[in-house]
Amino acid sequence: MKIVFWNINGKDLLTELDLLAQEINPDILFIAESQLSISRLLSALNNKKSNYYFNMDPVCEKILMFSKFHDKFVKPITSNIRYTVRAIEVPTYPSFNLMSLHFQSKVNWDFADQAAHSATLKSIIGDFEAKTGSSRTMIIGDFNMNPFDFGMVQTTGLHSVMSKEVALKKSRIVDGTEYPFFYNPMWSFYGDYGKGEVNGTLYNTMSKPINYFWNIFDQIIIRPDLIPYIDEDRLEIINEFGDKLKLLNRANIIDNSISDHLPITITIKHL
C-alpha cells in the first residue's frame, strides 16, 4: 500500500497530479494547500484510469484525502482543520491508524510556539490510539519542523527518534514518567551521502545567519508496532514522475514554479 503526501502550495497542478497518478500510482494520496475543486482533482487523478475516490472529511480544511478505497476501509476517527485521522482496515494489509497533518508554519509560529503546541498534538495522538485500541500509528504530512526541532524530539511532544533500534524499545522513562517513541526514518535523507537524490523536501535560501538550505518539513513518523510492516526501501522523497516530469530545476533544487515542497511516499507491506 503506497501512501503519498504532497503540499502543492496552492498551485493549479492538475497536469502534475495526473502524472503523479500515472507514474507514482499511490493507493492513498494526501494533498495539502489545495485551492482546486474536488471535481477537478478527481478528473485529473482519474484521467487515465478510474481508480480514486475522494475520502471526505467535513472538518479538515488543510488536507484532502484521495484513495483507491471506499470510506468503510479508511474510516474517519477524528479531525480538525489541520489534521485528519483514519482507521485503515484494508484486507491483506495490517490495520493501523493513519494521521495526515499540516502543522503551524514557522512564518507565524517560532520554534518555541511549535514545541509548546506539540504537547497538544501528543495528547490528540494518545486519545485516538486509546479510541482505536491500537498503537500501530503512522503520521505523514507537513510538520513545518525539521526532524531535530524540539517539537519533534522532546518527550512531551512527538518524541521521534532517528534510530530504529532505539524506537523498538517502545518508550523511555524521564523523571518518573513513561514516554512512547515514534521512529522517524526521514533523518536518513540528510547530507550528501544520505538516502535518495535530494537532502530535503523544501529548499530555503533566506539571507539569515543560520540557514540549513535543505529542510525536511514533510515527514513520516511511525510507532514501533508498525515498523515491521514498513518497506523502508520504498521510503522516498519524490523528485520526478518518471521521465515525464522533473520536480528539480537545472540547479538541482526544487522547481518552485511547480511547488515549494517535494512529495514524500512510504509503502506498507502485505500481511
DSSP states of 123-173 as a string? HHHHHHHHHHT---EEEEEE-SS-TTSHHHHSTTTT-EES-HHHHTT-EEE
Residue boundaries of the structural domains of the chain: 2-268
pLDDT for the residue 227: 98
pLDDT for the residue 206: 83
DSSP characters over 170-198: -EEEETTEEEE-EE-GGGGG-STTSSSS-
Per-residue pLDDT of 149-202, as tens digits, reads 999 999 999 999 999 999 999 999 999 999 999 999 999 999 999 999 999 999
Q: Is the pTM of this model over 0.85?
A: yes
pLDDT for the residue 196: 94
pLDDT for the residue 102: 98
pLDDT for the residue 198: 96
Task: Name the fold adopted by 2-268.
Answer: Deoxyribonuclease I; Chain A (3.60.10)
Contact 153, 160 (CB under 8 A): yes
pLDDT for the residue 207: 85
Residues lower than pLDDT 50 in the chain: none
* Grid cell listed for 43: 478528473
pLDDT for the residue 199: 96
Q: What does DSSP say about strands 96-102 and 83-88: parallel, antiparallel, or unpaired?
A: antiparallel
Helix axis angle, 38-45 relative to 14-23, nearest 10°? 40
